[in-house]
Amino acid sequence: MAERRPQRVDEVRSEGKAAVVGAFIQELVSLRQQKWGNLWGYFFIAPAIIMYIVFQGYPIIRGFFMAFSDYRWLIPETQGFISGLNGVANWIEMLHDDTFWRSFGIALKFTALFLPFTVVFSLFVAVMISKVQNRTAASVYRVIAYMPVVLPVSVAMMVWAKLYDPTFGYLNVMLQNLGVQNPPNWLGSPDWALYAMTIPTIWKRFGYWTLLFLIGIYNINTEVYEAALVDGANGWQQFLYITLPLLKPTFTLILILGSGVISATVESMALFQGTSGGPAESALTAGVYLYRTAFIHGDMRMGYAATMSLFLGIINIIITGIVFKTMRTERA
Amino acid sequence: MASLSQTIKRNLKRPDAWIINASLIFICAVCLLPVIWTVSSSLKDRQELYMATPSLIPKNPTLGNYRWMFTRADMSRIPLNLWNSIKLSIGAVIIQSITATMAGFAFARLDFRGRDLLFYILIMLMFIPRAGGLMATYELMSFLGLRNSHLGLILLYPSGISVALFIMRQTFLSVPHELEEAAIIDGAGTWRIFLNVDLPFAQGGVVVVAIFEFIYVWGEYLIALTLLDFPELETVSIAVTKLSGWSAHFTSSVLAGYGTECAAYTMAMLPVILVFVLMQKWFVRGLTEGTIKM
C-alpha cells in the first residue's frame, strides 16, 4: 500500500502542471476522509517544511506584495505590508523607465547570443561523446566538459577577466601570435563587453546541458538504431530521425533552464566587479539593474525592484509555456 | 545476428573515431585552458609573470604566491574567507542532509493525512516565480536578526529543499520493501525502520544531496553578497571579486598582485574540483533525479 501511492504522485507529476493542480484540488477536498495514519510522518517532515515555509514560502508572498508597493528600505514608513500598497504605480513607472527597457533589451540580446549556440554546441559535444567507444575516454571527456559547471561562478568569471586582460591576458597573447594586429580590449570596450560576458557564460554552462543530452542519448534504446540500420539509414539520417525526435523531453528541459539567463545577474556583477554594468552600461542586464535599484542606489527601492523581478518572472513563465506548447504539438 | 552487431559497431565507428577524439580533445583543452592558466600563473615567480610571451607551464614553479597570500594577513583576508566558506558549506550540508533525508523518508515510506497534498504544494511552488525573493529575504533576515550572520546563511541555504527532497524520496522509494515488512513483523517501530533498515540503503542518496549542496553553497554569490556587509564575514566566492581592487591598491606593482590573485582563485576552485573529481560517479545520478521537475 505504502508503495503504490507515491507512484501515483509521480504519475501525476509527469503529466504536467494542469494534472498537478487538479490532483492538488482533489486531495484538498478529500483531506477530511483520509486516515491520520502514521503520525511520526509529521515529525519527520517538520524540519524541512518549517524551514521551507519560513525562508522560502514567506518571501514568495512578501515579494508579491512588495511588487505592488513603494517599498524603500531606508524609509520605514513605506514598508507596511498592506499600508505600503500603491496599486499599479510601480508598473506604470516601469513602462516609462528607459533604463529598464534598455537593460531588458540587453538581457534579451544576451539570451539570444547565449541560448541557440549553447544548445547546438552541447548537443554536438554530447553526440560526439556518445560515439566514443572507449569507456574510459568517454568518461574523461564527460568529466572535463562538466568541470566548469561546478566551479564557483564568481571565480570562473574572475579567471576569465584575467584571460581577457588586454596587456597580461593569455587570450590576446594568443591572438597576437595568430597574427591579429589589434585584439580588442574585451571587457573595456562597450562594443565587446557583452560578447566578452557571453563566452564565459557558455563555457560555464554548456557542460551541464551536454550531460543532460548524454543522459537522453544513453536512454535511447539501441534496438531503434539497429532497426534503422537494417532499413539502411546512414549516420546523419539516424541523428535526424531518431536521436533528435527522441531527445525532445531533454530539449524542453534545456530550453526552460536556458530561458532563465534572461535574469542573469551574477556573470555581469562578477566580471565588472560591481553593478556598473560594464563600460557605458553595455552589459547592464535587467537582473543587474533591478539588483542595483534594490540594494545600491538611493533609498534602496525594493518595491520597484520587486515589480521588475515579477515582470521578468512572468516573461519566464510565458516562455516556458510557449516551449511546452510547441514541444507538445509537434509530438502529436 | 553476430554480423548485424558487427556492422552496427563498424557503423558507429564510421565517422572516423580519430576525428571525433581529436575534436573532443580540442574542446576539452579549451575547457581546461582558463583553469590551467590560473593555476600556472599562481605558480610563477615575479620574473616569469613579467615576460612578454607567457608560457602555459611555469619554468620555475614556486609556492611564493601562496606563502604571500597566507602570511600577509594585513593585505589579504583570503584565509579567513576560505574558513568562512568551509564553515558555511559544512553547516548547510549537514542541515540539508538531515532534513532532506527525514522528509524524503516520510514522503516515500510513511502514510499520513495530507502527505500527497503537501507534495503537490511543493511541486506547485516550484512553478511560481520568486518575485522579489531576494528583497523579501533581505527584509526577513533583517527582521530575524540573521543578516550579517553565518548562522542565517547556514539556515537559509538548505531551506531550498525541493531538489534534495526529490532525490531522497526517490532513493527511499527504491529500497526493497520486503526488509521493511520483515522488520515490522519483528516489532520494529518507525525510528528503527528509518535508522536500521532503510537508511543504510539510502546512503548513496545522502552522498548525492551532500555533494550538490556543498558545491552550491561554496559557489553561491548573490545571496551571500547581499546579506553580508562586512569583509571579514565574506565567503571566498565574494572575496575573489574584490581582489583586483586591493592588490592594485596595496602593492606597488600590479604584477605582484597577479600571481597572488591567481593563487587565491586556485584556492577557491580547489575544494569543488576535488569533490567533483573524486565523487564524479555520483553526479549523473543526482542530475537525472534532481532535474526532472516538470
> Mutation test of the interface with chain B: which of A150, A174, A176, A315, choosing the one with the most B Cβ atoms within 10 A?
A150
A117-121, A163-167, B12-16, range with the lowest pLDDT: B12-16
A245 CB-side CA count, 13 A: 10
Confidence of residue B92 (pLDDT cuts 50, 70, 90): very high
Cell of B84: 568562512
Q: Quick one: pLDDT at residue A37?
A: 82
Distance CA A145, CA B28 (A): 6
- The predicted model gives A22-49 an average pLDDT of 86
Q: Quick one: pLDDT at residue B291?
A: 53
Q: Quick one: pLDDT at residue A4?
A: 44
Distance CA A146, CA B186 (A): 47
Q: Quick one: pLDDT at residue A332?
A: 34
Q: Quick one: pLDDT at residue B3?
A: 55
Highest mean pLDDT out of A14-28, A126-140, B121-135, B142-156: B142-156
**DSSP string spanning B146-207?**
-TT-HHHHHHHGGG--HHHHHHHHHHHHTS-HHHHHHHHHTT--HHHIIIIIIGGGGHHHHH
Percent of residues, chain A, with pLDDT higher than 70: 96
Nearest alpha-carbon partner for B84 in B217, B210, B216, B278: B217
Q: Which residues on chain A are in Cβ contact (under 8 Å) with B124? A: 17, 20-21, 24
Q: Is the pLDDT of residue B157 over 90?
A: yes
Distance CA B164, CA B99 (A): 9
Q: Write the pLDDT tens digit of every residue in A109-150.
A: 999 999 999 999 999 999 999 888 888 888 899 999 999 999
Q: Name which residue leads in pLDDT, B9 or B263.
A: B263
Is B261 within 8 Å of chain A by CB? yes
Nearest alpha-carbon partner for B131 in A53, A60, A320: A60
Confidence of residue A231 (pLDDT cuts 50, 70, 90): confident
Confidence of residue B253 (pLDDT cuts 50, 70, 90): very low
Is B218 within 8 Å of chain A by CB? yes
Distance CA A18, CA B231 (A): 47
Is B239 within 8 Å of chain A by CB? no
Spell out the residues 6+ positions from residue A127 whose beta carbon is closer than 8 angstroms to its own.
Answer: A213, A217, A239, A243
Give me the residue label for grid cell 609573470. B49
Q: Is the pLDDT of residue B254 over 50?
A: no
By C-alpha distance, the chain B residue nearest A158 is B241
Mean pLDDT, all residues of chain A: 85
Distance CA B230, CA B234 (A): 7
Q: Which residues on chain A are in Cβ contact (under 8 Å) with B265? A: 155, 158-159, 162
Q: Name which residue leads in pLDDT, B262 or A17.
A: B262
> Mutation test of the interface with chain B: which of A43, A155, A259, A317, choosing the one with the most B Cβ atoms within 10 A?
A155
Confidence of residue A269 (pLDDT cuts 50, 70, 90): confident
Distance CA A303, CA A90 (A): 8
Closest residue to A313, CB basis, from B131, B242, B275:
B131
Give me the amino acid identity at B146.
L
Q: Give whole-number Cα distances, A191 to A146, A185, A287, B194, in Å.
A: 30, 10, 20, 59
Q: Which residues on chain B are in Cβ contact (under 8 Å) with A216? A: none
**39-58 in chain A: CB under 8 A from chain B:** 39-42, 44-45, 47-49, 51-52, 54-58
Q: Is the pLDDT of residue B4 over 50?
A: yes
Highest mean pLDDT out of A19-33, A159-173, B7-21, B227-241: B227-241
Q: Quick one: pLDDT at residue A227?
A: 86
Is A226 within 8 Å of chain B by CB? yes
- The predicted model gives A176-200 an average pLDDT of 85
Confidence of residue B85 (pLDDT cuts 50, 70, 90): very high
A120-124, A148-152, A243-247, B100-104, range with the lowest pLDDT: A243-247
Confidence of residue A267 (pLDDT cuts 50, 70, 90): confident
Distance CA A13, CA B119 (A): 10
Q: Name which residue leads in pLDDT, B242 or B290.
A: B242
> Mutation test of the interface with chain A: which of B241, B270, B293, choosing the one with the most A Cβ atoms within 10 A?
B241
Is B245 within 8 Å of chain A by CB? yes
Q: In this complex, do A133 and B255 lie within 8 Å of one another by their Cβ atoms? A: no
pTM: predicted TM-score of the whole model, two decimal places:
0.89
Confidence of residue B294 (pLDDT cuts 50, 70, 90): very low
- Quote the longest CA-to-CA distance of chain A: 78
Confidence of residue A320 (pLDDT cuts 50, 70, 90): confident
- The predicted model gives B263-267 an average pLDDT of 91
Q: Give whole-number Cα distances, B242 to A39, A276, A285, A321, B283, in Å.
A: 51, 14, 21, 40, 31
Highest mean pLDDT out of B67-81, B120-134, B207-221: B207-221
Q: In this complex, do B131 and A20 lie within 8 Å of one another by their Cβ atoms? A: no
Beta bridge partners of A85: A69
Confidence of residue A240 (pLDDT cuts 50, 70, 90): confident
**60-99 in chain A: CB under 8 A from chain B:** 60, 62-64, 66-67, 71, 73, 79
Mean pLDDT, all residues of chain B: 82
Is A310 within 8 Å of chain B by CB? yes
Distance CA B277, CA B283 (A): 10
Interface predicted TM-score (ipTM) of this complex, two decimals: 0.88
